[in-house]
Structure 1
Amino acid sequence: MATIRRATPADAAVLAELGAATFVEAFGHLYTPDDLRAFLDDSHSVAAYAAVLADPGYALWIADDATGRAIGYAQAGRCGLPHADVRPEDGELKRLYVRAGIQNAGTGRALMDAAMAWLLRDGPRTLWISVWSENPGAQRFYGRYGFAFAGEYEFIVGAQRDREFMYRRPAQV
Structure 2
Amino acid sequence: MSGIVYRDANAADAEALAAFARGSWVATFGHLAYPPRDLDVYLTKNYGAEIQRSEIADPEVRYRLALREGEIVGYCMMGVLAMPVDDAGGLELHRLYVDESVKGAGVAAALMEDAIAWARGKGASALYLSVWENNERAQRFYRRFGFKDHGEWDFMVGETADRDLIWRLTL
Q: TM-score if structure 1 supplies the norm length? A: 0.91
Q: State the partner residue of 2:60.
A: 57
Question: Per-residue CA shift, 1:38-83, capped at 9, x if unaligned?
Answer: 2111100112111211111110011111x22111110001111113
Q: Specify the code of the residue in structure 1 equivalent to 2:148.
A: A
Q: State the partner residue of 1:48.
A: 51
Where do 1:1-173 residues align within 5 Å? 1=1, 2-30=4-32, 31-65=34-68, 67-83=69-85, 86-123=86-123, 125-171=125-171
Tell me if structure 2 keeps the 8 A contact 1:25–1:100. no
Question: Per-residue CA shift, 1:13-59, capped at 9, x if unaligned?
Answer: 11101110000000012212322122111100112111211111110
Identity %: 38
1:102 offset after TM fit, Å?
A: 2.5
CA distance in 2, matches of 1:35, 1:124: 34
Over the aligned positions, Cα root-mean-square deviation in angstroms equals 1.4
Tell me if structure 1 keeps the 8 A contact 2:127–2:169. yes
Question: Per-residue CA shift, 1:139-158, capped at 9, x if unaligned?
Answer: 12111211100111111112
Unaligned regions of 5+ residues in structure 2, if any? none
Unaligned regions of 5+ residues in structure 1, if any? none
1:101 offset after TM fit, Å?
A: 3.6
Tell me if structure 1 keeps the 8 A contact 2:5–2:67. yes
Q: Would you say how many aligned residue pairs link Structure 1 and Structure 2?
A: 168
CA distance in 2, matches of 1:21, 1:124: 31
CA distance in 2, matches of 1:169, 1:113: 12
CA distance in 2, matches of 1:125, 1:55: 22
1:170 offset after TM fit, Å?
A: 1.8
SS, match of residue 120 in structure 1: helix
